[in-house]
DNA sequence: TTGTATGCGTTATCAC
DNA sequence: GTGATAACGCATACAA
């Protein structure tokens, strides 16, 4: 009763022969048109498929119809928990709609981004979710001009006609500042990674400065540093801020999860006690409750963001009439107050 | 000067026409056989490609040659930092060799694993890296029988002829126990997620028990719980262990990073002070230095593991002669001592 | 309800 | 050196 190990992949033709029917019938059986086949034939085809261990070849399938059933996703930093959570939700949303996800990590490198984009194009992905690392490239424009739907995640790109899905950055900064003010902090250091090439960073920084300008009772400053590369600079900046004479209670606002992590490390090394010196970070991380008295954060609705991204794609995928103009979807952050902002 | 926006993808035929040459020549140009073409023709083809914004269609390529240039990866839990780091290194290694990575997250669900496996097969991936969630499925065996190289990551699978790459689990437990003993702990609670379906968990648990049996000066117990699902049970188990009368210094050994996280949360809630009660976790996490006095960990060489996995695949991909028998590659853990094991 | 013929974009096998 | 032409596995318009 043992079947021979199929040397290679069997084809629809072999199935057809084995079942004694035509290729077309098998194709129909597979393509969700079984209702048009006689029960007898269905049974024979099913048996043949089973017997041969047949698996349809998506490559060939995509060739003819142009439907690769593939969505591409460009992630700027796969090791960023925020990205991963969004990725997770994007993948689920895709799968729920019968698409697979081709994931590319760019490590925030524009060159890699371009290569990956070309790659995705070569696999004829039907849509692309991009957490952009660089400026709009020729590859991206080519993709857009070919009519491939594009959704920008977290970071928008000038000159690109695409939906953008992400956090309400200004609102998040507002929320953070309101919280810090309410808790009595009056001197705020805003720490960010370099904002060039990441619109969300720019937007947050900009809003922080606006808030500073609007609130006379508040003083503040900003520090933009490449976190991983020079942790020394970060430590120095923090040391300067923390040790300086200041009657106003101090707090540090971290522009994203990575910043929060690095700042927490630096403060830890400096022996700064959280709470007395406030600390608030954008992005919720699963360990934030564990560091010192707990770190107050602004959680992003990552699930919603991922789903919205795919939803956008799907709408542009089915072009019934005229395409709607690019849309911007912004989600509100959620404050999770912990000990680090409790004086 | 401006070119019309290419309505859709251009084909090799269009390039050929535009350049006034044959398809074959263009194909040769693309396929790395330029040395057989006259410089003049090369120039014309290059110009045409440029002009039309041509991108080869990998789908069609894979159809004829059978080379999809795709590697599939099954991740049991994409939100696990360990998995992500390995994924990152696998992706880099693949790209360095001209392959793309099709990533599938199974969320530790055997059903999803089977679906994803079928999917990968349908895309004719040339190799698969699997961080398995369940028992060997029919889909997996089909893949193996078709000759698709398979590498098992972290978790081995009985009945599957595949290379296995991962941690030296017994060695890691030894390392952990030696460290705990050296630091004076004499009563150890081993906390793990349910070991069923994850060979590495089984191996670690088994080794822990062996060590207990071998060391008369040591007492210990084990707790296997689904972390996320019932955090109550975990808290109770920890409470029981910590509050029980015991002259012997106590320590908790966490079987992986997720356990460490959940245990840290529970201990935090219980108000247990780390160090006095020892804590050691397998898997280094980027926040481990920040929780209390710092959590001692055993770091896995994730980069090496990812690279070794791809290396394995590549060797089996090129079948010059007879295939070597399945190989097992085990890497040693690295101890990072912190305050949580300092009494 | 079922089958035939053609084409998708590419590579490979020939011939010139 | 270069170019026809035949596959590759599948979907589909068309015919029966």
The tens digit of pLDDT for each residue in A22-77 reads 999 999 999 888 888 999 999 999 999 999 989 899 989 888 877 888 999 999 99
pLDDT for A301 equals 97
- Window from A67-76, A187-196, A329-338 with minimum mean pLDDT: A67-76
Does A119 score more than 80 pLDDT? Answer: yes
As a whole number of angstroms, the distance between CA B6 and CA B126 comes to 32
- Per-residue pLDDT tens over the stretch B133-190: 878 888 898 888 888 999 999 999 888 889 999 999 999 999 999 999 999 999 999 9
pLDDT for A4 equals 37
As a whole number of angstroms, the distance between CA A313 and CA A306 comes to 11
On whether the CB atoms of residues B10 and B23 are closer than 8 A, the answer is no
Rounded, the Å distance between the CA of B28 and C1' of D1 is 12
A135 or B40, greater pLDDT? B40
Secondary structure letter of residue B300 according to DSSP: -
Q: What is the largest CA-CA distance in chain B?
A: 89
Question: Is the CB of B289 inside 8 Å of chain A's CB atoms?
Answer: yes
Q: Collect all residues of chain A within an 8 Å Cβ-Cβ radius of residue B145.
A: 5-6, 53
Rounded average pLDDT over A189-199 = 94
Give the model's confidence band at B3: pLDDT under 50 very low, under 70 low, under 90 confident, else very high. very low
| Structural domains in chain B, sorted by start | 12-56 (1.10.260.40), 68-166+302-331 (3.40.50.2300), 169-300+335-341 (3.40.50.2300)
Does B76 score more than 60 pLDDT? Answer: yes
A108 or B4, greater pLDDT? A108
User: Other CB atoms closer than 10 Å to residue A243's CB: what's the count?
Assistant: 10
Q: Which of B55, B79, B291 is opposite residue A121, by nearest beta carbon?
A: B55
Q: Which nucleotides of C are covered by protein (CB under 7 A)?
A: 1-5, 7-13
Does B6 score more than 60 pLDDT? Answer: no
Question: Is the CB of B172 inside 8 Å of chain A's CB atoms?
Answer: no
Rounded, the Å distance between the CA of B20 and C1' of D2 is 12
- Per-residue pLDDT tens over the stretch A275-305: 999 999 999 999 999 999 999 999 999 999 9
Rounded, the Å distance between the CA of B213 and C1' of C6 is 73
Residue pairs spanning A and B at CB distance below 8 A? 131
Identify the closest residue of chain B to A59 by CA–CA distance: B59
pLDDT for B272 equals 96
Where residue B256 falls (left for φ over 0; alpha for ψ -120 to 50; beta otherwise) is: beta
Nearest C-alpha of chain B: how many angstroms from A53? 7
To test the contact with chain A by mutation, choose from B31, B55, B115, B148 the residue with the greatest count of A C-beta atoms within 10 A, namely B55
Residue B71 parent element (H or E): strand B70-75
Relative orientation angle of helices B257-270 and B231-243, to the nearest 10 degrees: 60
Q: Which of B79, B81, B290 is opposite residue A268, by nearest beta carbon?
A: B290
Rounded, the Å distance between the CA of B2 and C1' of D11 is 37
Question: Is the CB of B228 inside 8 Å of chain A's CB atoms?
Answer: no
Question: Is the CB of B118 inside 8 Å of chain A's CB atoms?
Answer: yes
Where residue B292 falls (left for φ over 0; alpha for ψ -120 to 50; beta otherwise) is: left
Helix residue ranges, H only, A103-251:
110-122, 138-145, 169-182, 199-214, 231-243
User: Other CB atoms closer than 10 Å to residue B86's CB: what's the count?
Assistant: 28
Q: Collect all residues of chain B within an 8 Å Cβ-Cβ radius of residue A55.
A: 118, 121-122, 142
Question: Is the CB of B287 inside 8 Å of chain A's CB atoms?
Answer: yes
pLDDT for B199 equals 94
Q: Which of A5, A59, A78 is opposite residue B88, by nearest beta carbon?
A: A78
Does B2 score more than 60 pLDDT? Answer: no
Rounded average pLDDT over B286-290 = 97
Give the model's confidence band at A7: pLDDT under 50 very low, under 70 low, under 90 confident, else very high. low
Contact across the interface for B123 and A100, Cβ inside 8 Å: yes
Contact, A244 CB vs strand C, < 7 Å: no
Contact across the interface for A142 and B79, Cβ inside 8 Å: no
- Per-residue pLDDT tens over the stretch B203-253: 999 999 999 999 999 999 999 999 988 899 999 999 999 999 989 999 999
Give the model's confidence band at A1: pLDDT under 50 very low, under 70 low, under 90 confident, else very high. very low
Contact across the interface for B123 and A59, Cβ inside 8 Å: yes
Give the model's confidence band at B1: pLDDT under 50 very low, under 70 low, under 90 confident, else very high. very low
Does the model's pTM come out above 0.75? Answer: yes
- Mean pLDDT (chain A, rounded): 92
- Per-residue pLDDT tens over the stretch A195-246: 998 999 999 999 999 999 999 999 999 999 999 888 999 999 999 999 999 8
Q: Collect all residues of chain B within an 8 Å Cβ-Cβ radius of residue A100.
A: 102, 104, 119, 123
Question: Is the CB of B143 inside 8 Å of chain A's CB atoms?
Answer: no
Does B24 score more than 60 pLDDT? Answer: yes
Give the model's confidence band at A134: pLDDT under 50 very low, under 70 low, under 90 confident, else very high. confident
Give the model's confidence band at B320: pLDDT under 50 very low, under 70 low, under 90 confident, else very high. low
- The token pair that represents B9 in the structure block: 């993808």
Rounded average pLDDT over B38-45 = 94
pLDDT for A279 equals 98
Where residue A32 falls (left for φ over 0; alpha for ψ -120 to 50; beta otherwise) is: left
Give the residue from B84, B123, B1, B78 showing the smallest Cα distance to B302: B84
Nearest C-alpha of chain A: how many angstroms from B288? 9
Rounded average pLDDT over A115-132 = 92
Q: Which nucleotides of D are covered by protein (CB under 7 A)?
A: 1-13
Residues 6+ apart with CB under 8 A from A31: none
Q: Collect all residues of chain A within an 8 Å Cβ-Cβ radius of residue B146.
A: 6-9
Contact across the interface for A84 and B84, Cβ inside 8 Å: yes
Rounded average pLDDT over A252-268 = 97
Question: Is the CB of B310 inside 8 Å of chain A's CB atoms?
Answer: no
């Amino acid at each position: 009763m043992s079947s021979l190990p199929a040397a290679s992949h069997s084809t629809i033709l072999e199935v057809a022969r084995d079942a004694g029917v035509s290729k077309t019938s098998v194709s129909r059986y597979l393509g969700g048109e079984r209702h048009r086949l006689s029960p007898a034939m269905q049974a024979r085809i099913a048996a043949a498929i089973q017997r041969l261990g047949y698996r349809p070849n998506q490559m060939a399938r995509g060739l003819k119809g142009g439907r690769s059933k593939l969505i591409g996703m460009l992630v700027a930093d796969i090791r960023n928990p925020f990205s991963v959570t969004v990725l997770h939700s994007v993948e689920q949303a895709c799968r729920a709609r019968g698409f697979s996800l081709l994931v590319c990590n760019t490590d925030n490198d524009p060159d890699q981004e371009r290569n990956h984009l070309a790659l995705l194009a070569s696999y004829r992905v039907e849509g692309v979710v991009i957490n952009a690392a660089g400026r709009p490239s020729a590859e991206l424009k080519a993709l857009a001009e070919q009519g491939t739907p594009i959704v920008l995640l977290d970071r928008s790109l000038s000159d690109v006609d695409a939906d953008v899905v992400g956090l309400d950055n200004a609102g998040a900064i507002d929320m953070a500042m309101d919280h810090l003010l309410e808790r009595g902090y009056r001197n705020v250091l805003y720490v960010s990674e370099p904002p060039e090439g990441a619109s969300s960073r720019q937007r947050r920084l900009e809003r922080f400065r606006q808030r500073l300008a609007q609130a006379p009772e508040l003083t503040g400053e900003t520090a933009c540093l490449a976190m991983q590369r020079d942790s020394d600079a970060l430590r120095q900046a923090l040391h300067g801020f923390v040790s300086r004479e200041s009657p106003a209670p101090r707090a540090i606002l971290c522009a994203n999860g990575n910043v929060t992590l690095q700042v927490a490390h630096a403060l830890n090394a400096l022996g700064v006690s959280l709470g007395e010196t406030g600390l608030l970070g954008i992005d919720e991380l699963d360990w934030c409750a564990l560091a010192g008295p707990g770190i107050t954060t602004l959680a992003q609705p990552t699930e919603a963001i991922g789903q919205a991204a795919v939803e956008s794609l799907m709408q542009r995928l089915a072009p019934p009439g005229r395409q709607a103009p690019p849309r911007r979807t912004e989600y509100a952050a959620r404050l999770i107050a912990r000990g680090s902002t409790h004086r």
